[in-house]
A and B are shown apart, each in its own frame.
Chain A
Amino acid sequence: MSEHHITPLRTYLIIASLLLFLSAVTVWVSYVDLGPLNIVVAMLVATVKASLVAFFFMHLLWDDKKNLTMFLMSLMFFGIFVTITLLDTEFRGDLGLNPEVKNPINNRASFYDTLPLTDTHGHPVDEHSDDHHEDKEHH
């Protein structure tokens, strides 16, 4: 087994530092308003990080390329899965035959009407005043 490639320690440390740095970058960028570009930048940074993990930590860079092929095939299947699903869900109701098909679930689920308003701890609050809330606690 001694013929296996042994990645130098320095490489591992550099890659880990890069991953931590990119994590900080992606958090920082999320607070900058880029409009629809935010998600694009976030996914680009995530993909760079994922590539670093796959090529260096998972040793794909030095492996036989059949392993990389297997991995890329899983991503290709994922791409087909997303594309074909979105071809359905994104274009529902475009023929205009039934307007409700266009936005199938834009109505609020009915169980929300029965939920009481709560504070940030999830405890129900009285809608009118806080004084009654105190009374309730004593019952």
Chain B
Amino acid sequence: MSDHNPNAPSHLKHYFHDVNQQYETSKFAMWAFILTEVLTFAGLFVAYIVYRSWYPDMFVDAHKLLDVNKGLTNTVVLITSSLTMALAIWAIQKNNKKLSVLMLVATFVFALAFLGIKYLEYSHKFEVGQLPGLYYSYMGPDAAHLNNPHIFFSIYFIMTGLHGLHVAIGMGLIAWLIYSTQKGNLTSEYYTPMEMIGIFWHLVDLIWIYLFPLFYLIG
């Protein structure tokens, strides 16, 4: 309608009736994307469930090779980053640009911390040979008796790896949000990208909420 209405905001596409319809449409599309994300991870969760039901004892023994403290630290880091992301949206809704940028930077830093801790975990596993499939070579005193732990580590690396990739992509998106908000492109009138990336970021948190107990806290 912007062709006909000179008062229409510049971000309103001409094929939408009004800004609210545009916003609701974007959000619904975002949730359709979230559905495909859930289904992507669903396949991996099914693999986890099937193999755990085939190897219940091996999963319990192999999970003891993971570091619960690092896993819990990452859980706290990711929940806090979800909070700062939500607060960034809250701040921009209140038109507080400075606070919004600050919260986005905090989210970015927490995401970086998450990947840093993940790097420490991965590098330790590479060093000792707790690796997927044929690359597995760890036969330490706490693992020599295990029946096929390489399967546990295949699933561990694929699931946490795909999740880590999402964190990395999220960091790129958040960096772009910091730039756009700082430049003044996002305001309380138009903050759709921040709301959408926020939903994506919370999904990353939501998946980790399941990965943490499934890998680090098995009975």
Interface residues of A (CB under 8 A from B): 1-4, 6-7, 9, 12-13, 15-16, 19-20, 23, 26-27, 30, 33-36, 38-39, 42-43, 45-46, 49-50, 53-54, 56-59, 63-64, 66-67, 70-71, 73-75, 77-78, 81-82, 85-86, 89-90, 105-106, 108-109, 111-112, 115-122
Who on chain A is nearest to B190 by CB?
A1
Which of B112-120, B163-171, B204-212 forms part of the interface with chain A?
A: B204-212
Asked if B218 contacts A39 (CB within 8 A), the reply is: yes
We find that the number of chain B residues with CB closer than 8 angstroms to chain A is 68
Asked if A6 contacts B94 (CB within 8 A), the reply is: yes
Tell me if B106 counts as interface (CB < 8 A to partner A). Answer: no
Within 8 A of A (CB), among B78-92: 79-80, 82-83, 85-87, 90
Asked if B129 contacts A82 (CB within 8 A), the reply is: no
Who on chain B is nearest to A37 by CB?
B219
Chain B residues positioned under 8 Å from A111 (CB to CB)? 134
Given contacts A42-B213, A49-B209, contact A118 B202 (CB under 8 A): no
Interchain residue pairs A-B with the least CB separation, the first 8: A122-B128, A30-B217, A74-B38, A38-B219, A16-B83, A42-B213, A74-B35, A70-B31
Given contacts A3-B20, A23-B76, A77-B39, contact A46 B209 (CB under 8 A): yes
Who on chain A is nearest to B128 by CB?
A122
Asked if A64 contacts B213 (CB within 8 A), the reply is: no
Q: How far is the CA of A12 from the CA of B103 in the complex (A)?
A: 13
Q: How far is the CA of A39 from the CA of B63 in the complex (A)?
A: 14
Chain B residues positioned under 8 Å from A15 (CB to CB)? 83
Contact of B206 among A23, A53, A78, A119 (CB under 8 A): A53
Asked if A12 contacts B50 (CB within 8 A), the reply is: no
Asked if A108 contacts B31 (CB within 8 A), the reply is: no
Asked if B188 contacts A1 (CB within 8 A), the reply is: yes
Tell me if B75 counts as interface (CB < 8 A to partner A). Answer: yes
Asked if A27 contacts B148 (CB within 8 A), the reply is: no
A44 CB, nearest partner CB in chain B, Å: 10
Asked if B213 contacts A43 (CB within 8 A), the reply is: yes
Using A71-B38, A118-B140 as known contacts, list a sample of 8 further A-B pairs with CB atoms less than 8 Å apart, ordered by residue number in A: A27-B217, A42-B213, A57-B85, A81-B46, A109-B150, A112-B148, A118-B128, A120-B141
Contact of B42 among A50, A78, A116 (CB under 8 A): A78
Given contacts A6-B94, A108-B147, contact A90 B53 (CB under 8 A): yes
Given contacts A27-B68, A67-B27, contact A118 B129 (CB under 8 A): yes
Asked if B210 contacts A46 (CB within 8 A), the reply is: yes
Q: How far is the CA of A13 from the CA of B210 in the complex (A)?
A: 22
Given contacts A20-B79, A23-B76, A46-B209, contact A86 B49 (CB under 8 A): yes
Asked if A45 contacts B137 (CB within 8 A), the reply is: no
